[in-house]
Amino acid sequence: MRRSIAAQRRRDAVWFLLPLLVALLIVAGWPLARTIWLSFTDASLAGGAHRFVGLENYAFLIEDPDWWRAVRNTLVFASVSVALETALGLGIALVLDAQIRGRGLLRAAVLVPWAIPTVVSAQLWAWMLHDQYGVINETLLLVGVIEAPRAWLADRTLAMASVIAVDVWKTTPFMVLLLLAALQTVPVDLHEAAQVDGAGAIRRFMVVTLPVIRPALLVAVIFRTLDALRIFDLIYVMVGNASATATMAVYARQHMVDFQDAGYGSAASTLLFAVIALATALFITLGRLTAPPAAR
């Protein structure tokens, strides 16, 4: 009886999996294959005939200083913002884990930036960072931190710092959530034992807490890094295609859609895909990946 059930199940499993496989093939597999193919052609987004041009697009790409700038911007953006939000997320998670009144309120408040759509966050901050009427300039002038209003989003050096700050604000809740869940699995008696032994707060964190939350910390950092490497909407809405902040995704879309150069844009996209695939492979070998990806 058991054997026949298993056999029936295996037959049915094919039919249960087929819709998923077909859907993934249509929305992911085929389009990716086409993008890679188009990267070797002179295709235009408007359609029409295109011909194979070999590595021409890639040759142009590696000679374009704007492309290398986009690569650098992407790496700077991803590494700085993930580092900051990990530190901040861990700090906030530790506060939320402590026994304080109003913890429920605080926990709910921390989720708010996560709940706000990225485009909305981008607009909220673009308004707050406005060079003439922004509340941030106004406040900093009042406190005396700056003497003249700053053009946070137009100034080449400030723009990157600004978009990183907004990304940190928006994504720290994700870190907090993952780390808080991990912190709650830290055994209390272990902490107490360490305290009795005279271990200070920092030592207790290093010896007791950190080893327990390390897997969750690793997973959170990996997911955020892979997400940050493909950043598009926040930067596009706040500063458009400006080269000071344009990431690989922004650069690729600009060429593909604004300039209608599907072949060249696809080459840039393919390289971004390769970078992310490489990072993923690296992470998988570094530590086993067992967590589901989170919704953005």
Query: Per CB under 8 A, which of residues 184..213 are in contact with other proteins?
Result: 185
Q: Which is nearer to other proteins, 76 or 289 (CB)?
A: 289
* Cβ pair 245, 235 in contact under 8 A: yes
Size of the site for other proteins (CB under 8 A): 106
Kindly tell me which of 15 and 54 has the beta carbon lying closer to other proteins. 15
Q: For residue 45, count other CB atoms closer than 10 A to its CB.
A: 17
24 makes contact with other proteins (CB under 8 A):
yes
256 scored as a contact of other proteins (CB under 8 A):
yes
At 142, list the tokens.
Answer: 């009042």
Question: Kindly report the CA angle at 287 between 283 and 290, in degrees rounded to 5?
Answer: 95
Q: 187 or 293: whose CB is closer to other proteins? A: 293
Residues in 37-76 that interact with other proteins by CB under 8 A: 38, 43, 45, 47
- Residues 6 or more apart whose CB falls under 8 angstroms from that of 239 comprise 153, 159, 163, 245
Give the span between the Cα atoms of 59 and 69, in whole angstroms. 16
Q: Which stretch binds other proteins (CB under 8 A): 65-73, 78-86, 187-195, 255-263?
A: 255-263
Sorted by sequence, the CB contacts under 8 Å of residue 136 that are 6+ apart come out as: 128, 129, 152
- For residue 172, what are its two tokens? 């720290």
Q: DSSP letter at 155?
A: S
Sole window of 9-17, 55-63, 79-87, 189-197 interacting with other proteins (rule: CB under 8 A) = 9-17
Q: How far is the CB of 158 from other proteins (least distance, A)?
A: 18
Q: Residue 178, interface with other proteins (CB under 8 A)?
A: yes
Tell me if 286 contacts other proteins by CB under 8 A. Answer: no
Stretch that binds other proteins, among 53-61, 62-70, 149-157, 169-177 (CB under 8 A): 169-177
Q: What is the greatest pairwise CA distance in the chain?
A: 82
Give the footprint of other proteins on residues 82-141 (CB under 8 A): 91-92, 95, 98, 100, 102, 105-125, 127-128, 130, 133, 135, 138
Q: What angle do CA 226, 229, 235 make, to 5 degrees?
A: 130
Q: Which is nearer to other proteins, 194 or 227 (CB)?
A: 227
Question: Does residue 278 touch other proteins according to CB under 8 A?
Answer: no
* Nearest in space to 166 (alpha carbons), one of 155, 150, 156, 153: 153
Q: Which residue has the tokens 């969750």?
A: 216
Q: Which of 220, 235, 239, 246 binds other proteins (CB under 8 A)?
A: 220
With binding defined as CB under 8 A, does residue 265 bind other proteins?
A: yes
Closer residue to other proteins, CB minimum distance, 83 or 226? 226
Q: How far apart are CA 175 and CA 220, in angstroms?
A: 6
